[in-house]
Chain A
Amino acid sequence: MSDKLVLALPSKGRLMEQCAEMLAKAGLVVVRSGSARGYKAEIKGLSGVEVNFVSSAEIAQHIKNGTAHLGITGEDLLRETIADCDERVAFLRGCGFGHADVVVAVPDCWIDVRHMADLEEMAASFRRLHGRRVLVATKYMNLTRRFFSGRGVTGYRIVESFGATEGAPAAGLAELIVDITTTGSTLRANGLRILDDGLILRSEANLVSSKVAQWTPGLRAIERDVVARLAA
């Protein structure tokens, strides 16, 4: 790592564009260095910053390991990737985009299951009848475990799912899912319904700071500068 402040930004998609817009509005214009397709950039007029473009999931890793000082990524990914998130990550600022709710969704035909507590009881009878535990499809294994455990729900197993999670119940791959949703329309289209108390996390993109990165007083000054400009 150089002695520069490393800022990790999403490398593609709508999230990358929104980050660039937000920074530009604050007078922090990101300029790609070298070829336009490179994964490094600088911020015009702020020489102490090195921008790294990486995938959103990797940003969480960099913040976790301290290989980036600052980053912008979804709170869902941060909390999923980093078990001791509050020890390692300082949430500096919600960005106002990248909104997504992490929710527990069940088949709408389960008219007997409205709440997490129903789920636990249903899981017990499911196991008696089917000889196995209820399966929850998700890519958010850690968020799911923590949330379910906090609500006394234990009679389930997680199956990891990396895409099209909402189709898992109809395909018989899992009985219910934990996934992100913005409007709920994809869930509805797949015959699923969010439990009344099934909101795990209301996530958005966040500017975060790694508490375990190598910080110097100079880098802290740049951090304060970036935060101040975004707040202005």
Chain B
Amino acid sequence: MAAEAAQNVEALNAQAQRLIATFTRAGYEQVAPSVIQPAGLFLDVVGEELRARTYVFTDPEGEELCLRPDLTVPTCRLHLARHPGGRVEARYCYNGPAFRYQAGSTDSAHPREFRQAGIESFAAADREQDDAAVLALIAEALRETGLERFQLSLGDLGLFDALLDALPMPRRWRRRLHHHFWRPEAFHAELVRLTSRAALQPQGVPRDLIDRLDPEKPEEALVLVAEHMDRAGLELIGTRTLEEIAARVLAEAADAREPPLEPQTAALIESYVAVRAPARDTARRIEELLGPHGIDLGGALDAYRRRLDLLEGLGVSTWDATFSAEFGRNLEYYTGFVFEISVPRLGPRSPVAGGGRYDSLVSDVGAPSPVPAVGSSIHTERLLAALNGDAPGGVPGGAP
């Protein structure tokens, strides 16, 4: 039922009231961020993938605006407007429309206009506690509307980052692998590249320039790169400065001198990314995988276990939950714990709810420093379909 069909407005309203009542009872303040958002800032944050699905328009004064494709970013902006700096503990809930272009055609599981009901929690000090509290409240809200049984899928980007930190490699390689995590093909290609001495050699920068650069001496590099550009008749045009270009050339020089990543290390990373296990079995499986290589994820794995225990304590059963190391949301702003809730009727590709930790998003929209944040939203049309036993129209597929 696309929102424009409006057949189930009353049912959706009644359902939304129950969801919001559950959220506000738990101390979440109801807010109503603007439907129309500044396109520039919003799209800088969500990236081009979601931009392709965001309705963007220009107002009579030429300002570029968009219809919000989700409510998380607008809620971050609202939080920052109230608390410049953002580092004030706050919890918000909302229910309202979001808009996404659906390539090809829309169907009931993938309408272009849908309502999200959700919660966002900012600046809580105890991350695992807050992760667990957010998921537990979403689960409670779903139960309040009548959804008793659902499948819980979990992921944890903190584990992946801890693994990269524990493996010997230059910081910039960690950064690259971290960056590519959301894109399996690019990630794999980068791993292959890092294990090959030939592939680590500079592709475009002349060898003689690379050989003269000393990664320890960035000042000198600036002069050498400037000289090279003069000789080659290259004029500096555009926004990027000589310093930026020199810094990356210097990183290439450093890569060229670096011993390639050990093939076992790359294999270990691939094995980790392939881990899929019952959530309760995951920590043991990861220890078995990494232990023989003398790698200990330490605090990150403790945090994972603690979060599961906290969830149990809050009444969320984790015994049937599944963990996937590459469990990816296609929004790349998540930074830690991630989860999705699905029901068999709609399938895992049309989750009823999803969420996670996004510790860098608030600074991306303007806070001077990162602010811990975790949130989740319910796709309310899907929830209603799951409760009504409606068969989803069309073939479920793609992201929400």
Chain A residues within 8 Å of B, Cβ to Cβ: 83-84, 107-115, 117-118, 120-122, 124-126, 129-130, 132-133, 145, 148-149, 151-152, 154-158, 169-170, 172, 175, 191, 196
The residues of B that contact A120 with a CB separation of less than 8 Å are 179-180, 186
Would you give 14 A-B contacts (Cβ < 8 Å), ordered by A? A109-B235, A109-B236, A111-B245, A112-B204, A114-B203, A115-B204, A120-B186, A125-B247, A126-B240, A129-B244, A132-B44, A170-B237, A191-B235, A196-B203
Q: Interface centre among B103, B228, B236, by most A CB within 10 Å? A: B236
A115 to B176, CA, bound (A): 15
- Is there an interface contact between B240 and A107, defined as CB atoms closer than 8 Å? yes
Proximity bits, B78-100, A CB within 8 Å = 1, else 0: 00000000000000000000000
A114→B189 CA distance, assembly (Å): 16
Inter-chain residue pair count (beta carbon < 8 A): 104
Q: How far is the CA of A145 from the CA of B229 in the complex (A)?
A: 31
Bound form: Cα–Cα A110–B176 in Å: 19
Instruction: Determine if B48 is an interface residue (Cβ-Cβ < 8 Å).
Output: yes
Q: Which of B51, B187, B205, B249 has its CB near the most chain A CB atoms (within 10 A)?
A: B51
Q: Are A126 and B244 in contact (CB under 8 A)?
A: yes
Interface residues of B in 257-316 (CB under 8 A from A): none
How far does the alpha carbon of A196 sit from the alpha carbon of B203 in the complex, in Å? Answer: 10
Those of B24-47 within 8 Å (CB) of chain A: 43-44, 47
Q: Judge if B139 is at the interface, Cβ distance under 8 Å.
A: no
CB–CB B48/A148 < 8 A: yes
Smallest Cβ-Cβ distance to A190: which chain B residue: B237
Q: Is the CB of B44 within 8 A of A170?
A: no
Residues from chain B with a CB closer than 8 A to the CB of A170 are 237-238
- The reply to whether B239 and A130 form a contact with Cβ atoms under 8 Å apart is yes
Let me know if B252 is at the binding interface, CB within 8 A. Answer: yes
Q: Top 5 A-B pairs ranked by shortest CB distance?
A: A152-B186, A114-B204, A112-B248, A169-B238, A152-B183
Of A111, A114, A118, A154, most buried by chain B (CB within 10 Å of CB) is: A111
* CB-based nearest A residue for B245: A112
Q: Is the CB of B165 closer than 8 A to any CB of chain A?
A: no
Are A107 and B238 CB-contacts (below 8 A) given A121-B176, A132-B44, A152-B185? yes
Q: Give Cα A152 to B179, complex, Å.
A: 10
Interface check B60, CB cutoff 8 A: no
Is B104 an interface residue when CB atoms closer than 8 A count as contact?
Answer: yes
Contact count band on B: 35 or more
CB contacts under 8 Å to A, within B321-371, are 332
Cα distance A154–B229 in the bound complex, in angstroms: 28
Chain B residue with minimal CB distance to A195?
Answer: B204
Please measure, in the bound complex, the distance between the C-alpha atom of A41 and the C-alpha atom of B103, giving whole angstroms: 36
Contact B183 A154 (CB under 8 A): yes
Q: B144 in the interface, Cβ–Cβ < 8 Å?
A: no
Of all chain A residues, the one with the shortest Cβ separation from B243 is: A129
Question: Quick one: CB contact mask for B208-252 with A, threshold 8 Å, 1 for yes?
Answer: 000000000000000001001100101111111000110111001
Q: With A151-B186, A157-B44 given, is the CB distance from A109 to B237 under 8 Å?
A: yes
Instruction: Give Cα A154–Cα B176 distance, bound, in whole angstroms.
Output: 13
By beta carbon, the residue of chain B nearest A130 is: B239
Tell me, in angstroms, the Cα distance from A170 to B248 when the chains sit together. 21
CB-nearest residue of chain A to B64: A159
Tell me which residues across on chain B come within 8 A of A130, comparing CB atoms: 239
Tell me which of B43, B189, B234, B240 contacts A117 (CB under 8 A).
B189
Q: Give CA–CA (A158, B56) in the complex, Å.
A: 12
Query: CB < 8 Å: which of A114, A125, A154, A175 contacts B238?
Result: A175
User: How many Å from the CB of A166 to the closest CB on chain B?
Assistant: 11
Residues on B with C-beta less than 8 A from A156 are 48
Bound state CA distance, A126 and B104, in angstroms? Answer: 34
Cβ B229 vs Cβ A109 within 8 A: yes
**Alpha-carbon gap, A112 to B213, bound state (A):** 14
